[in-house]
Structure 1
Amino acid sequence: MLGVRGMEETPAQREAGEIPCAESFDHFLVRHEAALRSSAVPQIFWKSLHYKLINEVFDAGQFFGIMQTEEADDVDDDEDEQPQLEEKKRSNPGVELSCKVIVTNENGVRTEDPNSIFLIDHAWTYRVNSAQQHLQEIPGLLHRMTNLMKIDFHGEFPDENVVNKVLSEMWKYNQTYQLSRGTAEEKLPVWYVMDEFGSEIQHSNEPTCCTAPLFYTSQQIAYTILWPLRDLDSGGSSVFYQVI
C-alpha cells in the first residue's frame, strides 16, 4: 500500500536549516500555474496538490487498490471444473495475470473533493542513451523493472538477455516529458516509468481519470499527478486514464 513518505519538521530543524522552509502557495503558483493550466488540472485541486508536494504525501493507497485477475480460456470457474483449472495452472505456470486499478475507499473518489488529486512516483527516469547502462549498474533497478513488467528473473547479477527484454518491454510503460529551460542536452526528452501503482493504471479512450507529469521545481523532481474526471464509487469503479 502507498503511504505518507514525508516527515514532520520541528522549528529547531527549520531554524538550523536541516529542512528547507516550505514554499508558500503563492510562490508555488508563480512557478507552476502555467503547467497546471496547460494540463487542465482543475483549480479545486491546486492547494491540495501543493500540500501533498511539500509534505511528500503519497496517499493513493488509501483510495485505490490493484486487483489481480487470471483468464481461464474455455474453462468455467465452478466446483466441477476446478480440477481442470488447477491442472491448467500446473501445466502452464507462465500464464499471464491481468491487473486493474479499482477504487477501494468506501467513500469513493469525488470530483468536488479538493483532496482528490494524487501523486504517483516514478520508478525509473532516464534518457534513451543511458537506459541500458542504468539497468546494468543501478542496484535493484533491473529487479524492480522485471517485477513491474512481469518478466521472469531471479538472478543476483544483471543478465544481458533480461536487460534486453526490459529494453524491449519498457515502451509499453514509458511516458515522457521535456524541460522547457536549460541546455540543449537538458531539453532532450526525459523518459520515465511510473511506480508499481501507476504502471497498472490502464489507458482508455473512455477514461475515468487524467494523469499529467509535473516537474516540481522546489525538489527538482518530476511526479505524475492523477485526478478524477467523474465521481468514482468504491468497488465498482475501475480506473482508466488519459495522458494530458
Structure 2
Amino acid sequence: MSGDGEEDLAAFVALHGAALRASRVPACYWESLCRKLRGEVFDAGDYFGIMQVEEVDEEGDEEMEELKKKPNPGNEPCFKVIITNENGLQASNPNSIFLIDHAWTYRVEHARQQLLHVPGLLHRMTNLMGIDFHGEIPDEGSIEQVLQEMWKYNQTYQLSQGTAEEKVPVWYIMDEFGSRIQHSDQPSFATAPLFYMPQQIAYTVLWPLRDLETGDEVTRDYAYGETDRLIRKCILLPWVPTEVLDVNCFTPEPSDEHYQV
C-alpha cells in the first residue's frame, strides 16, 4: 500500500473503526471497503445474480407451513440471490466485501407523504414488493399496501452523534439486489449498515461467512447478532410466522420489602 493509501485507510478507520467492529466486519476487508466507498464502486453485479423462484403448492400442507416455506418476504413473484461468478467467491479474498445501495430512507412519520410526492418512489416500492401498480399517479390503495408490506423489507440504523433529532432511528429499504437476499439461520453472508461520514450517506455492506461456489445461494440472518431465542423469534415474526402464546407475560408485583429504604 502506498503512503497516501495508508493515510486514507488510517483516516477511514479513525472515523468508522468503532462501527465496523460493532458490526463484526472482519478487518481484512477494511482496506477494500475504504476504496469502494471512496470510489462508489458497486461491483456486486460481477459476482451475484437474482433468480426468480417458482413456488409449488403441495396439496395437504397447512397454511402456516406454506407461509414458512415462502422464500421471499413479500408477495409474488419470489426471488433469491445466487453466486454467478465462474470462480465462486472466497471469504479470504480481501476484495470480497460489497456495497448495497438503499432505495428508500425515511422516518416513519414522513413515509406516507414521501410515497405520495417523491417522483417514482411508489412505483419502485410496488415493483420491489410485488404489488400491482400500473398507474402514473399515486393512489391511496397502493400507498396503503406499501405501508403494510414495507415492514418485511425494513432495516434500521441510528446515528451515535449529532442532535437529538439526528439520533432518532432511521428506517431504510435496500435496493432490489439487497432486498432479494433471503433469510437463513445458517447464513452464507452477513450484512450491516454503515454510515459513510465523508458523503453523509448510509450503505449496507455485504461479506461472505465462508467460501462459496457458482450457483450457491446468498443468504443472511435477518436477526443477525441476536442470540436470545425468544427475541430472535419476535424479530423474525414478519417472515417466519410462529406462535408465542406460550410466553408468560405476567409481571409479578414487587413485595413490600422492595419499597423499603
TM-score bracket relative to the smaller structure: 0.7 to 0.9
Residue identity opposite 2:39 in structure 1:
N
Corresponding residue number in structure 2 for 1:194 = 174
CA distance in 1, matches of 2:200, 2:84: 32
- Map 1:35-114 to 2 at 5 A: 35-73=19-57, 96-114=76-94
Residue identity opposite 2:76 in structure 1:
E
Output the TM-score relative to the length of structure 1: 0.80
Partner SS, residue 53 of structure 2: strand
CA distance in 1, matches of 2:58, 2:194: 45
Partner SS, residue 58 of structure 1: coil
CA distance in 1, matches of 2:147, 2:76: 20
- Map 1:100-139 to 2 at 5 A: 100-139=80-119
The runs of at least 4 aligned residues of structure 1 exceeding 6 Å deviation read none
Partner SS, residue 73 of structure 1: coil
Q: Does 1:210 find its partner at 2:190? A: yes
Residue identity opposite 2:213 in structure 1:
D
Tell me, yes or no, if the aligned pair for 1:70 and 1:96 is still in contact at 8 Å: no
Q: Does 1:30 find its partner at 2:14? A: yes
Partner SS, residue 191 of structure 1: strand
CA positional deviation for 1:185: 1.1
Note the alpha carbon deviations across 1:30-59, whole angstroms, 9 max, x for none.
Answer: 100111111111111000000000000000
Partner SS, residue 93 of structure 2: coil
CA positional deviation for 1:24: 1.3
Corresponding residue number in structure 2 for 1:239 = 218
Partner SS, residue 24 of structure 1: helix
CA distance in 1, matches of 2:132, 2:11: 46
Partner SS, residue 45 of structure 1: helix
Paired residues, what number? 202
CA positional deviation for 1:96: 2.8
CA distance in 2, matches of 1:43, 1:65: 26
Partner SS, residue 154 of structure 1: coil
Residue identity opposite 2:170 in structure 1:
V
CA positional deviation for 1:74: 5.6
CA distance in 1, matches of 2:123, 2:180: 17
Structure 2 alignment gaps of length 5 or more = 1-6, 60-74, 226-261
CA positional deviation for 1:72: 3.5
CA distance in 1, matches of 2:184, 2:109: 30
CA distance in 1, matches of 2:53, 2:141: 28
Partner SS, residue 217 of structure 2: coil
CA distance in 2, matches of 1:157, 1:228: 41
CA positional deviation for 1:70: 1.1
Tell me, yes or no, if the aligned pair for 1:207 and 1:241 is still in contact at 8 Å: yes
CA distance in 1, matches of 2:106, 2:155: 11
Partner SS, residue 197 of structure 1: helix
Structure 1 alignment gaps of length 5 or more = 1-22, 76-94
Residue identity opposite 1:65 in structure 2:
G
Alpha-carbon RMSD across the aligned residues, in angstroms, is 1.4
